Amino acid sequence: MSQLFTGRRAAAALATAALLLPLTACGGNGDAKKDEGATKSGSAAKTDLTVLAASSLTDVFKKAGAVYEKAHPGTTVNFSFAGSQELAAQVKNGAPADALVTADTKTMDGLRADAGKPTVIAKNRLVIVTGKGNPKKVKDLKGLTGSKLKVVLAASQVPVGRYSKQVLDAQKLTVKPVSQEPNVRAVLSKVELGEADAGLVYKTDAATAPGKVDAVAIPDAQNAVASYPAAPLKSSRHSAAATAFVKWLSTPEAQKILQQAGFQKP
């Protein structure tokens, strides 16, 4: 009888153990899911900033962004480059972004309801850009008026287009462009590809195509100064990080990068 009772107790213990095994396994999976959730939560702590920036900042901002990310682990800076007027339209249409940098104060001023207080981070000037070796021998602004010269300018809605009109009007010069482009890089590309003989671009843009184009300086007295304001956007989901990035653009570290690329001090 004692042996039978002992046998029954052993069987019951085995049955109980069999029932507990699946519960232990479920508990283990639950812990794994919690750990997975914690990992995901940790990843969510990283910040992805989207910065809308004028086309003329394409090369220098890529360098600046890499430096900023290295100094701010966990923050990724994604840039979207276009003409300032296009960027303004994106902001007004509610495009998801965190900060904005334009190539003129006029465009930024039109976004006071959408952006925080702007800070000018750099300045620029215009140059005449020609094909490599300047085959048409363009020497000055007046040279752009030649009837046989194919000149390309930016559209008047684009900051560089307005600056171009400003300097030409001041000298009472009439230039009939073969095309009007949506941003300064498009002007540069037309000349670089030989589709135009000359154009007006920022000094810093001409510097991005060494050996492909030539740049003819415009005297300061005949030139225009382009200002680049930067501001965090009020719709940003990362307002603190956006403000920090905009402030960083005025630091000695960022200013060194901008000035090495040919931009002038604010």
Per-residue pLDDT of the chain (266 residues; tens, 9 = 90+): 444 334 444 444 434 333 333 333 333 333 333 333 333 334 446 999 999 999 999 999 999 999 999 999 999 999 999 999 999 999 999 999 999 999 999 999 999 999 999 999 999 999 999 999 999 999 999 999 998 999 999 999 999 999 999 999 999 999 999 999 999 999 999 999 999 999 999 999 999 999 999 999 999 999 999 999 999 999 999 999 999 999 999 999 999 999 999 999 99
The count of structural domains within the chain is 2
- Taking the C-alpha atoms of residue 59 and residue 202, their distance in angstroms, rounded to an integer, is 13
- Domain range for 253: 47-123+227-260
The answer to whether the beta carbons of residues 151 and 179 sit under 8 Å apart is no
Residues 131 and 195 in one domain: yes
The answer to whether the beta carbons of residues 122 and 258 sit under 8 Å apart is yes
Residues 235 and 249 in one domain: yes
- Taking the C-alpha atoms of residue 81 and residue 185, their distance in angstroms, rounded to an integer, is 10
Distance of CA 239 to the CA centre of its chain: 17
The answer to whether the beta carbons of residues 144 and 218 sit under 8 Å apart is no
Residue 40 belongs to a domain: no
What global pTM score does this model have?
0.82
Residue 1 belongs to a domain: no
Which residue type occupies 78?
N
Residues 119 and 129 in one domain: no
